[in-house]
Amino acid sequence: MLFFRSHHLDGPAAACKYSFSLILIFIVCLNVGAQRLSFHNYSVHDGLANAHVNSVYQDRKGYLWFGTWEGLSRFDGYGFTNYGRRDGLANPIINDITEDRDGNLWVATQTGGVARLIDDPKEPSSLPQDTSDTTTRKKFINYSMSDKRESNVVGALLFDAENTLWCVTEGGIYRARVPTGNQRFDLKFELVGQTPADKGWTGYALADNQGRLWFGFYDELIEFSEGRITKYHLPDKLDASVISIQSDWHGGLFVASHVAVFDFLPPTDVESKEQWRKLPLALMPRPEEVYTMLSEPNDTLWLGTSYGLIKYQDGRQTRMTTAQGLSENHVSSLFKDREENLWIGTGIGGVSRLSNEKIVSFTSTEGLLSQNISMLVEDHTEHIYASALSGGIFELSEDKATLVAGSQAAPFNLVGKRILQDVRGDWWVGTEAGLFRFQGPRLQLEHGEKFKSADGIPESPVFNGPGMYEDSSGKVWVGLQDFNLYWFDPARKGQAPLFQHLNLQDVWQSYARDIVQDRAGALWVGGFGGMLRLVDDKPVRIEPTDGLPEANPRALFLDSRGWLWIGLRFNGVSVVKDTGASPMKFINYSTANGLSSDAVWSITEDDKGRIYFGTSKGLDQFDPATGAMRHFTSENGLAADWVNYCLKDHLGNIWVGTTSGVSRLDPREERRASLPPIYLSRVRVAGEELALSETGAVSLPALTLTAAQNNLLIEYVGLSFQEDRKLKYQYKLEGAGLDWSEPTAERTINYAHLSPGSYRFMVRAVTEEGLLSATPASLEFRILPPVWQRWWFITAVALILVLTIYALYRYRVTRLIELERVRTRIATELHDDIGSNLSRIALLSEVVRRQVRQDDPQVNERLSLIAGVSRESVDSMSDIVWAINPEKDHLRDLTQRIRRVAGDILSACDVEFRFHASEVDPDIKLDVDTRREIFLIFKESLNNIVRHAKCTEADVEFKFEHGNLILRVKDNGRGFDCEQASKGNGLASMRQRARNVGGDLHITSAPDEGTTIVLRVPLDHYHWLRSRRHKNGHQ
């Protein structure tokens, strides 16, 4: 809830007031040093509706809402969506925001009463009023308290446990019962409290955790509890108004006026009195005023004033202004979201977000005159020192940086990383002029000594790498730019020379840049030219190997586990867990594993064992136990992205030296990462937008799409407002055989030309820690096949086809039956009529021949000819009748006919013949043409034997083999020359008949060698297969 003032200052008046406040705060800030905090500011340039923010609210879905002087803004972490008059708001000045028990969003407006967001696009009241306009949808419904203007100036809203809406207005307190579920919102407001007359007006509302309702009116605090109304007055007769009410989380309230904040304890019974305790805040003399307030369960109280933000905790007050990064000092509203970000609405600066207070920075504002920090050191008295690349050394206190005396004078103005405090408390300082030692424990550059050549170390520049290290025995190691490594052993107790050295020129041509000692006692020395390991003062060069892609280190660090971490120049960082193993096994991490950069300049460790890498693109936090990688940059509050050095102090803070100052990160202030909710924010099907709820949806009703609607564009959004926890997304399309995609920052997916089928699209948000959305957003849809691929169409076509085939079959069967009847009738008539007549002619001619005189040979010859022709015609007629008789259509009938005719003809000519026939399927049918042609070829063969062969023996073979009918006729006659005989009509006729039935005829003969005729006719596949199936069906 928030403070609301009915008399606004607009235009020049407001500008004058804010300008005056800014001038005062600027004057004050000139004399106040403070650390810069990790504020992130949003203004109209980022899409916010207006720079004046009256209220901030987070709905149950997780969206943030900002009430401004120019409409309502919704923020999803990526951008703002704004609502104003064109969306249905009666007045664009939004004073308060809340939700009812069903999750409907309500806003209080300046003169338009209250408005409810229509989140369901199918709600009738959201449809366009102009039926010709199909694009504009009304998004708010407005409700008036009464016909009076002052009653519709609403400053504060709340819903009680019964879902009753309470509205604090300029005309008094109104309430209305809001129905739940899908009932219509026909609200009837009731006036339950009158505004005090002649006192101006302010208002605030709060429902505490005990079910009591509290309202502030000018100097009155009003309680609604169990149907009773109780009024309390501000103490001390303050000329001020109640501008905010907050729970103190101990059964009482914090009550704020413009000039004071009280801890209020209501009476516990009818005989006791309320208690007011004024908090000892150090507010500036007027015109500073308190505008808003927010309390937290950890007894932290936040105050928004005209001079910035005040944090009050444990009796200590901390002020935050534009000097610490706040967008503007006039704070008008406060809200803390579920991720514990503090949102600060301002008068003309938009809204600021304070992500956390775990990162604070020291820059020139805090007295850090030189901001390119090379080295950080904590001394034995727990003081922190920052050594700049050039410009001196600074001691860092709680809120300022103090220059160490003498550090800006040569040669100490260029110390950089060349600074070390030994276990005795003495300070070792390397310079371009040689090595110095000063008495401790506090760092000072006045009382000390410079080492000379007589001490065993030349007055040469110490390598700025840092190039100095103290081992576990107390030896101090120093690398100079003469390629030698020197050490000072305190156990020698003044023996000359003080320093001894090791010549490394024979091993490498490099300086000792960084030095560290492993658990085995060996020293690791890194330089530009490689890396060495000193065992018993004997250098062993470390060469690149698996897990160590280069031996060009920029940082060496031994963690609490004894693991040695090696920051590399071009390949990230490598770690060896057991430096005593042979061979040593290295593991490498790079940008491929999530590092921000492959150049690692510094390494340290926090109290939880997490490793920090200082890179040129920020500070990376790596958890070896989980593999989680987090990144901190200037967006999260670091002074700069380029990190030169990092250090852990005795409290567990991580100090970070950057090119633009020093930052302090408190890992203990890290919040538990929350599971990011995710919603479908847009669905477009084949270019047509799908109507979604205004705030998106986790799931949608299943869609049934036509075959032409197979192109889908889907947009989604995960809600998280922490800059250091940037979200990525994984999606998959069930039904397309696709698994979860690789995490990506893209929030749009387009599917084109999807095949017909059932699909389920799912998407989830992924944090840097690997946490996933509790419930993925999903969309189920089915793409119908084209009409010609649908089951009913295929069924209909198949049915039509079957019916057509059946009709054709029935037609063919009918025709065949009719044909068989015709054939039967013709056969019967030929046999009965023509056959009978021919037989009579033959008989009569024979009778007449016998009756005529025997001496007339001419007559006898003609009568004999008539009788012969008649008999031949009878035989031919018999063949024709047999051929067209449908009862003789089977193969067995043809076999029997061939056997009988061969017997009749050859026996009559005294030719011995042999007939061979295979067993045939009695159900194999032959068509009329096939039977007739085969039979005529056979008869022609017999006629040739009888007329020309003059044979004594003949063999006839008729068989069915491999789907072919084979007829073989062989005699032992005189034979003939095939080439000469081929010119005759008989053989040509036989070959033509064979071709007519798709067969072939082969004739083999030679003079005096007999003749063999072979006819091969492929049997009609359809009839043969059908007959085989028919036979199998009966078996």
Which of 170, 126, 178, 136 has the alpha carbon at shortest distance from 152? Answer: 170
What burial class does residue 795 get, using C-beta atoms within 10 Å of its C-beta: 0-12 exposed, 13-18 middle, 19+ buried? exposed
| pLDDT for 271 | 82
What burial class does residue 918 get, using C-beta atoms within 10 Å of its C-beta: 0-12 exposed, 13-18 middle, 19+ buried? exposed
The pLDDT tens digits of the residues spanning 150-193 come to 999 999 999 999 999 999 998 889 999 998 876 666 789 999 88
| pLDDT for 827 | 64
The listed range with the strongest mean pLDDT (33-47, 69-83, 709-723, 854-868) is 69-83
Which of 286, 283, 226, 214 has the alpha carbon at shortest distance from 255? Answer: 214
The pLDDT tens digits of the residues spanning 22-59 come to 444 433 433 334 567 778 999 999 999 999 999 999 99
Amino acid letter for position 1010: G
| pLDDT for 661 | 94
**Mean pLDDT computed over every residue of the chain:** 85
Q: What does the alpha-carbon distance between residue 727 and residue 354 come to, in Å, rounded to a whole number?
A: 19
The model's confidence at residue 737, banded by pLDDT at 50, 70 and 90, is: confident
Does the reported pTM lie above 0.75? no
The model's confidence at residue 949, banded by pLDDT at 50, 70 and 90, is: confident
Dihedral sign for Cα 1027, 1032, 1034, 1035, please: positive
Q: Please determine, for residue 18, whether its predicted confidence score (pLDDT) is greater than 50.
A: no
Which of 101, 100, 105 has the alpha carbon at shortest distance from 89? Answer: 105
Which of 272, 252, 250, 251 has the alpha carbon at shortest distance from 262? Answer: 252
Average of pLDDT values for 632-641?
88
Average of pLDDT values for 73-89?
95
| pLDDT for 20 | 41
Higher-pLDDT residue of 862 and 617 is 617
Average of pLDDT values for 97-113?
95
The pLDDT tens digits of the residues spanning 318-358 come to 899 998 889 999 999 999 999 889 999 999 999 999 986 67
Q: What angle do CA 996, 1000, 1002 make, to 5 degrees?
A: 135
Within 10 Å of residue 762's Cβ, how many Cβ atoms? 18
The pLDDT tens digits of the residues spanning 452-468 come to 999 999 999 998 888 89
The pLDDT tens digits of the residues spanning 573-594 come to 999 999 989 899 999 999 999 8
